[in-house]
């Protein structure tokens, strides 16, 4: 990884009071300027041409879609920097990727699904031996996969960027069928702990649908940029478990009422995002003016006890620990589990009190 050396300064941000701010002390270097995120380090994980969608396998390998009209998807082993082509041949419009851990769609455990649109929609599977099989397509049922996700039951969901159809489709292994239709092209999706489907639409709105496709909220968020905006739910712990969006300029956290809080700046050119198995946030960026190469960023909180991710360990973080005291739920997030041992308890309280004050 290529890491900026950061210094810590103290400044006031909005109504949060004094917080530690990660300042990129080096300025523009060979990797270009990096975003600034309060209480976090920001580093270049890898440099590669036109990175698209991001997905991790269960070994920590990161797979990256390709924004070219034809090309290979790329694999980056744990630790970053090294980039290698993945799959026995290039594919058409291979910008959307998803790890199929159980082989629900691919039929082969551990395959990487790749979505593309050219002459109709296609979904390929790249098997662990890097052989490639066409799973669905070419088809006009969906024309251009914008995003692909699994919910907690293993159901596969696909948003179709086609501006005429405007559908989100679902599959449990059979051919995808329309689950619901939205008023504008569906782009990115995120799934919450209850398997509600959050869909960012072209035009800046996020809608929420239930598991059966019924509409729960037609305007959960209304003020996002109209273009591509990655959305992901936080993993808890140092990151809160709300919805995070990369707006193209800012990293924002969205609460349960749909209110946004800016927690980072300088995210121009951001394409996709994902929280990794290490609970870091990864963001792919294209055409950043100060950077000589397209790149993937890795964003890591400076101190795990900073559960609110605001650069300081204080009473807000203590409340999170005390409010979630006891065993973590069998599924979903576990705010307050600082040491990630499945229990919010004395060890987490000791870790929090030991880190009390400004993050280093």
pLDDT classification of 24: cutoffs 50, 70, 90: very low
Q: Check whether residue 243 and residue 320 sit in a common domain.
A: no
Residue 2: pLDDT over 50: no
Last residue of a domain, one of 282, 301, 320: 301
Mean pLDDT of 296-321: 87
Percent of the chain with pLDDT over 70: 90
Is a pLDDT exceeding 70 seen at residue 19? no
Element spanning 245, H or E: strand 243-246
One domain for residues 235 and 187 = yes
The pLDDT score that the predictor gives to residue 3 is 43
Position 275 confidence tier, pLDDT thresholds 50, 70, 90: very high
**212 domain residue, yes or no:** yes
- Is the pLDDT score of 79 beyond 80? yes
pLDDT, position 304:
83
Residue 240: pLDDT over 80 = no
Residue 114 lies in a domain: yes
37 within domain boundaries: no
Residue 290 shares a structural domain with residue 318: no
Which segment, 33-37, 71-75, 356-360, is predicted with the most confidence on average?
A: 71-75
pLDDT in tens, 162-203: 878 899 999 999 999 999 999 999 999 999 999 999 999 999
295 with 353, same domain? no
In 3D, which of 250, 338, 329 has the Cα closest to residue 301?
A: 338
295 forms beta bridges with 47, 285
Residue 239 confidence (pLDDT) above 60: yes
Q: Are residues 161 and 283 in the same domain?
A: yes
User: Structural domain tally of the chain?
Assistant: 2
Higher pLDDT, 57 or 39: 57
DSSP 208-262: EE-TTS-EEEEEEE--S-SS---EEE--STTS-SSEEEE-SSEEEEE-TTS-EEE
Rounded average pLDDT over 65-84: 94
Mean pLDDT within 94-123: 95
342 & 284 share domain = no
Tell me phi and psi for residue 271, to 5 degrees: -110, -55
pTM of the model: 0.82
Task: Specify if 271 maps to a domain.
Answer: yes
Do 91 and 198 share a domain, yes or no? yes
- Is 335 found in the same domain as 227? no
Domain that holds residue 160: 45-301
| 316 within domain boundaries | yes
Residue for token pair 């103290």: 10
The DSSP 8-state label assigned to residue 103 in this structure reads -
Average of per-residue pLDDT across 303-310: 80
- What's residue 22's pLDDT? 37
pLDDT score at 30: 53
Both 338 and 197 in a single domain? Answer: no
Residue 38 lies in a domain: no
Closest CA to 348 of 301, 302, 304, 300: 304
Q: Is the pLDDT of residue 9 over 60?
A: no
Is residue 137 assigned to a domain?
A: yes
CA angle 218, 223, 229 (to 5 degrees): 90
Residues 223 and 248 in one domain: yes
Averaged over 212-223, what is the pLDDT? Answer: 97
Q: Which DSSP helix (H) or strand (E) runs through 321?
A: helix 315-323
Average pLDDT over residues 322-330: 92
CATH number for the domain that contains residue 161: 2.120.10.30
- Weakest mean pLDDT among 18-27, 121-130, 325-334: 18-27
Mean pLDDT of the chain: 88
- 1 pLDDT band, cuts 50/70/90, is low
- Considering the domain architecture, whether residues 241 and 354 belong to the same structural domain is answered as no
Residue with tokens 């950077």: 291
Over 56-95, what HEC string results? ECCCCCEEEEECCCEEEEEEECCCCCCCEEEEEEEEECCC
Angle, CA 159 vertex, CA 156 and CA 163 arms, to 5°:
160
Average pLDDT of the segment spanning 97-116 = 97
280 pLDDT higher than 80 = yes
Q: Are residues 115 and 94 in the same domain?
A: yes
Residue 24 forms part of a structural domain: no
């Amino acid at each position: 990884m290529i890491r900026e050396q950061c210094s810590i300064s103290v400044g006031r941000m909005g109504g949060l009071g004094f917080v530690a701010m990660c300042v990129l002390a080096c300025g523009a270097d060979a990797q270009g300027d990096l975003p600034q995120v309060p209480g976090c380090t920001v580093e270049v994980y890898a440099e590669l041409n036109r990175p698209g969608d991001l997905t991790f396998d269960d070994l920590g390998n990161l797979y990256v879609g390709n924004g070219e009209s034809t090309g290979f998807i790329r694999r980056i082993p744990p630790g970053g920097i090294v980039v290698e082509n993945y799959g026995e041949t290039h594919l058409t419009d291979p910008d959307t990727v998803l790890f199929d851990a159980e082989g629900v769609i691919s039929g082969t455990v551990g395959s990487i699904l790749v979505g593309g649109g050219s002459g109709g929609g296609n979904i390929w599977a790249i098997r662990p031996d890097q052989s490639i099989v066409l799973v669905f397509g070419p088809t006009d049922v969906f024309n251009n996969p914008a995003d692909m996700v699994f919910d907690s039951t293993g159901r596969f969901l696909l948003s179709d960027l086609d501006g005429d159809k405007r559908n989100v489709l679902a599959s449990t292994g059979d051919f995808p069928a329309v689950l619901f239709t939205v008023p504008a092209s569906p782009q990115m999706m995120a799934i919450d702990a209850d398997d509600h489907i959050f869909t960012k639409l072209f035009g800046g709105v996020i809608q929420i649908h239930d598991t059966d496709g019924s509409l729960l909220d037609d305007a959960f968020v209304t003020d996002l940029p109209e273009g591509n905006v990655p959305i992901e739910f936080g993993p808890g712990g140092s990151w809160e478990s709300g919805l995070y969006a990369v707006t193209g300029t800012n990293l924002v956290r969205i609460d349960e009422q749909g209110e946004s809080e800016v927690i980072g700046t300088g995210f121009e050119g951001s394409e996709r995002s994902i929280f990794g198995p290490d609970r870091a946030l990864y963001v792919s960026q294209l055409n950043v003016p100060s950077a000589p190469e397209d790149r993937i960023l890795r964003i890591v909180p400076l101190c795990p006890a900073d559960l609110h991710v605001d650069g300081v360990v204080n009473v807000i973080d203590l409340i999170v620990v005390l409010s979630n005291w006891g065993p973590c739920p069998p599924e979903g997030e576990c705010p307050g589990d600082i040491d990630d041992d499945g229990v919010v308890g004395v060890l987490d309280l000791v870790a929090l009190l030991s880190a009390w004050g400004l993050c280093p």
